[in-house]
């Protein structure tokens, strides 16, 4: 049962007009100036549709009904193309600010959304082995002065960000702002209280900071993972991370990727989602321009989808999928993959793209090369038992 004291601590610490857990400290001298945004696509994005392997000799026969061709895609290289709904990202790829990671998956082979997402976010070899998230464990090293450098965008903190390291959160306000005179009265009442006084003070500072950065961001209540909300969340996250005295590492979620039926090819349900994703990422990049050269955006999903269309004109849960790295700190302009091929003998379980890189290997590369987390720390505490996790090939982060 929640006590009055606990309620007041929670209410004040989350801010008054927005759900932003106060950074607590001015971050002009934060432990890092680098920015990282993790975008989690929930439901299993079809990597073969987002980045079709048009150069694979088996691709056309396997993808009947969902076929992408040179006529309706954006060519990336001689082997791979990009869905035309992702066109807003083409400039980033050409500039070398975007890399595609293909044939990648988590370490556990599962077709369960719940288990695959748990592995994606806890960083363990199997689902439910760890209770906290790998990004929270990484923040314990990066955020040495407990400045709340981590930011969860949405009403709930994603599992990847949960743990003992305090993080901030932001979402559009659910309730009207409290009157200033009421806050002043509470401030006087709890001024000498070391817990309530500090919580209220931090909450008011957070309110002032987010108000100055975001103004009155308006969004209807509801599911923050709704694909239609992604652009607004991305814009707000970008503006907050670009601010000098705000967070450095953020997580955004986007749902709607479980395309079992009526997936579509160049148009349709999946094409719409890809367009919303691309527009949101483009908006995020625009808001992060002041710090773009120090930014990495990592877009991941829990698994790929089957190579063949099912009877409902969609795709089922698969294994190998695709990820995206975007940002001025990314050594991009290429598709990074140990491509396994789509020959019948190469498919995982006879139905999926076989993964040749481990998602933990991608995360470790980003944390080590971009945020300077040591390899020993990554393997001992952030990603236990990950010594053999295969990273994507080649250099992914600029020096």
Pairing of strands 357-358, 98-105: parallel
Beta carbons of 332 and 99 less than 8 angstroms apart = yes
Residues recorded for the chain = 399
pLDDT in tens, 250-298: 999 999 999 999 999 999 999 999 999 999 999 999 999 999 999 999 9
Q: What is the pLDDT of residue 175?
A: 55
pLDDT in tens, 93-143: 999 999 999 999 999 999 999 999 999 999 999 999 999 999 999 999 999
Q: What is the mean pLDDT of the chain?
A: 88
User: How many CB atoms are closer than 10 A to CB 278?
Assistant: 23
Distance of alpha carbon 131 from alpha carbon 60, whole angstroms: 42
Beta carbons of 307 and 347 less than 8 angstroms apart = yes
User: How many CB atoms are closer than 10 A to CB 1?
Assistant: 3
Q: Give every residue of the chain whose pLDDT is below 50, as ranges.
A: 1-26
Write out the two tokens for 302. Answer: 């829990």
pLDDT in tens, 329-341: 999 999 999 999 9
User: How many CB atoms are closer than 10 A to CB 268?
Assistant: 17
Query: How many whole angstroms from its chain centre is CA 352?
Result: 24
Q: What is the pLDDT of residue 106?
A: 98
Distance of alpha carbon 315 from alpha carbon 312, whole angstroms: 8
pTM of the model: 0.88
Domain residue extents for the chain: 1-24+181-216, 31-172+225-382
Q: What is the pLDDT of residue 17?
A: 33
- State the alpha helices, DSSP H only, in 131-262: 134-142, 180-189, 196-214, 230-242
* CATH number of the 31-172+225-382 domain: 3.40.720.10
Q: What is the pLDDT of residue 301?
A: 98
């Amino acid at each position: 049962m929640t006590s009055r004291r606990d309620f007041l601590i929670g209410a004040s610490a989350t801010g008054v007009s927005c759900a932003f857990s106060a950074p607590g400290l001015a971050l002009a001298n934060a432990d890092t100036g680098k920015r990282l945004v993790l975008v989690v696509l929930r439901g299993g994005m079809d990597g073969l549709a987002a980045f079709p392997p048009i150069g694979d000799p088996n691709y056309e026969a396997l993808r009947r009904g969902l076929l992408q061709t040179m006529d309706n895609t954006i060519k990336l290289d001689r082997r791979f193309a990009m869905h035309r709904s992702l066109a807003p990202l083409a400039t980033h790829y050409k500039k070398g600010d975007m890399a595609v990671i293909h044939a990648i998956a988590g370490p556990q082979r599962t077709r369960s959304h719940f288990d695959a997402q748990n592995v994606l976010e806890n960083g363990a070899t199997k689902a439910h082995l760890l209770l906290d998230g790998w990004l929270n464990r990484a923040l314990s090293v990066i955020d040495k002065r407990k400045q709340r450098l981590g930011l969860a965008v949405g009403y709930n903190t994603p599992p990847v960000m949960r743990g003992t390291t305090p993080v901030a959160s932001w979402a559009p306000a659910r309730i009207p702002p409290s009157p200033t005179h009421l806050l002043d009265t509470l401030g006087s009442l709890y001024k000498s209280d070391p817990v309530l006084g500090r919580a209220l003070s931090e909450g008011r500072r957070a309110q002032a900071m987010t108000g100055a950065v975001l103004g009155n961001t308006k969004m209807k209540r509801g599911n923050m993972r709704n694909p239609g909300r992604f652009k607004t969340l991305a814009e707000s996250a970008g503006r907050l991370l670009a601010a000098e005295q705000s967070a450095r590492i953020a997580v955004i979620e986007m749902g709607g990727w479980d395309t079992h039926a009526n997936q579509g090819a160049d148009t349709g349900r999946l094409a719409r989602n890809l367009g919303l994703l691309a527009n949101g990422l483009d908006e995020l990049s625009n808001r992060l321009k002041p710090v773009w050269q120090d930014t990495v955006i990592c877009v991941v999903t829990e698994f790929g989808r089957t190579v063949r269309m099912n009877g409902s004109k969609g795709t089922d849960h698969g294994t190998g999928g695709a990820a995206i790295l975007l940002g001025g700190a990314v050594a991009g302009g290429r598709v990074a993959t140990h491509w396994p091929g789509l020959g019948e003998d190469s498919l995982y379980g006879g139905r999926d793209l076989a993964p040749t890189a481990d998602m933990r290997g991608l995360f470790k590369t980003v944390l080590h090369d971009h945020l300077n987390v040591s390899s020993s720390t990554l393997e001992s505490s952030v990603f236990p038992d990950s010594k053999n996790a295969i990273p994507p090939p080649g250099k992914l982060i600029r020096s």
